[in-house]
């Protein structure tokens, strides 16, 4: 087994589509870390995940998973990772027991006892056909399968989308447990930023196929702020401090990317902390500078 520092290393990856390009993206997911991968729909999250899982081939760049090359060492990698998609990719005619029979031959480290524990914990029926499961049950089954072969890296593409807050919370709790030994890592793409604010250590923000931000979540949140001022005050703010400006009937809200510096420079203005949602929103509108 290879020693590695980063569970995922993406360097200069480019993938061309008609009308969309994943443009020279780079970021790392350190071992033992939960990386939240955020961006609006169509930003390139799924393309990035498909590229790193080799569901689609990239045009250029380099991807390493668990310290191994994602093409050359594909089979070795796939024994040690788990993937959860937004939709259950299992056939409706199977039941939970069938899935265990299917996966136990595929994964050398498949643990039937762990799988049955998850099934019991999620209160999933063993003999009921998957076609009769609710959306939440389907997602729980997919997660149970993903967590039952001692995977070192868990990749999730919009896994919590469409689930009610109770189920989402339960699932997030399980992910936290899963990470406890520090040897496992998670890449979790979502546009539900509240989930990521709860559990992510790091965040990567992608928009229009480009990585805009990547780093520790707390640092990113700490660095950014929303400066509140009158509309005529906007002219006094340096353009280089601004991400974008949101105007309304009462004044303007300016996203600044260096809150500490801004609080010195613009002492007469109030600067509120920004959430991941705010950061995403203001960065998405960065080209317009002023929006409402």
Partner 1 sequence: MKLYTSLIYRELKLTRKRFLLMLILFLLLSLMMMTPLILVFISKPAKGEESPLEMIPLFVGIVALTGGFMAGTNNGLQKADISSGWKRYSFVLPPTAKQQALSDLLLKLGYILFFGLLSAAFELVYTAAADYNKFGNKLYIYMLNIFLGAVCVVMLVDIAYSYIMMFAKDKNQLKIIGVIAFLGAGVILRVAGIFFNVKTPEQPADGDTLISDETINRFEAVLLSGKTSLCIFAVFAVICTVYFLAMWRSHERREP
Q: For partner 1, which is the closer residue by CB, 59 or 194?
A: 59
C-beta separation of 230 from 195 below 8 A: no
C-beta separation of 142 from 130 below 8 A: no
Six-digit token string for 109: 């480290």
Q: For partner 1, which is the closer residue by CB, 17 or 194?
A: 17
Strand ranges of the sheet holding 251-256, from the earlier edge strand across to the other edge: 270-273, 225-229, 251-256, 242-248, 290-291
Q: For partner 1, which is the closer residue by CB, 127 or 267?
A: 127
Q: For partner 1, which is the closer residue by CB, 138 or 259?
A: 138
Give min distance, CB of 102 to partner 1, in A: 5
Give min distance, CB of 83 to partner 1, in A: 4
Q: For partner 1, which is the closer residue by CB, 104 or 169?
A: 104
Q: CA-to-CA distance for 80 and 269, rounded, in angstroms?
A: 51
Give min distance, CB of 126 to partner 1, in A: 16
Residues of the shown chain interacting with partner 1 in the complex, contacts defined by CB under 8 A: 17, 50, 53-57, 75, 78-79, 81, 83, 85, 87-94, 98, 101-107, 155
Give min distance, CB of 116 to partner 1, in A: 17
Give min distance, CB of 79 to partner 1, in A: 5
C-beta separation of 86 from 158 below 8 A: yes
Q: For partner 1, which is the closer residue by CB, 77 or 203?
A: 77
Q: CA-to-CA distance for 117 and 9, rounded, in angstroms?
A: 33
Radius of gyration of the chain (CA): 21
Q: CA-to-CA distance for 202 and 218, rounded, in angstroms?
A: 8
Beta bridge partners of 270: 228
Give min distance, CB of 180 to partner 1, in A: 24
Q: CA-to-CA distance for 190 and 29, rounded, in angstroms?
A: 16
């Amino acid at each position: 087994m290879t020693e590695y520092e980063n569970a995922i290393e993406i360097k200069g990856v480019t993938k061309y589509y008609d009308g969309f390009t994943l443009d020279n993206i780079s970021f790392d997911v350190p071992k033992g870390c939960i990386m939240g991968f955020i961006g609006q729909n169509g930003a390139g999250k799924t393309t990035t995940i498909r590229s790193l899982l080799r569901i689609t081939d990239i045009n250029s760049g380099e991807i390493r998973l668990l310290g191994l090359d994602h093409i050359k060492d594909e089979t070795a990698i796939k024994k040690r990772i788990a993937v959860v998609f937004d939709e259950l990719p299992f056939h409706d005619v199977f039941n939970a027991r069938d899935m265990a029979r299917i996966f136990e031959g595929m994964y050398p480290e498949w643990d039937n006892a762990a799988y049955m524990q998850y099934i019991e914990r999620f209160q999933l029926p063993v003999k009921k056909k998957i076609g009769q499961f609710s959306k939440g049950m389907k997602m729980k089954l997919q997660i149970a399968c993903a967590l039952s072969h001692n995977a070192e890296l868990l990749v999730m593409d919009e896994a919590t989308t469409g689930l009610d807050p109770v189920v989402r919370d339960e699932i997030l709790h399980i992910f936290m447990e899963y990470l406890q030994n520090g040897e496992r890592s998670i890449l979790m793409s979502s546009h539900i930023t509240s989930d990521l604010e709860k559990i992510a250590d790091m965040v990567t923000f992608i928009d229009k196929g480009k990585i805009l931000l990547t780093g520790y979540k707390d640092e990113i949140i700490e660095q950014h702020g929303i400066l509140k001022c009158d509309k005529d005050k906007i002219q006094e703010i340096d353009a280089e401090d601004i991400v974008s400006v949101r105007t309304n009937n009462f004044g303007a809200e300016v996203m600044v990317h260096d809150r500490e510096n801004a609080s010195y420079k613009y002492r007469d203005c109030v600067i509120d902390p920004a959430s991941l949602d705010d950061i995403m929103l203001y960065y998405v509108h960065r080209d317009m500078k002023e929006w409402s």
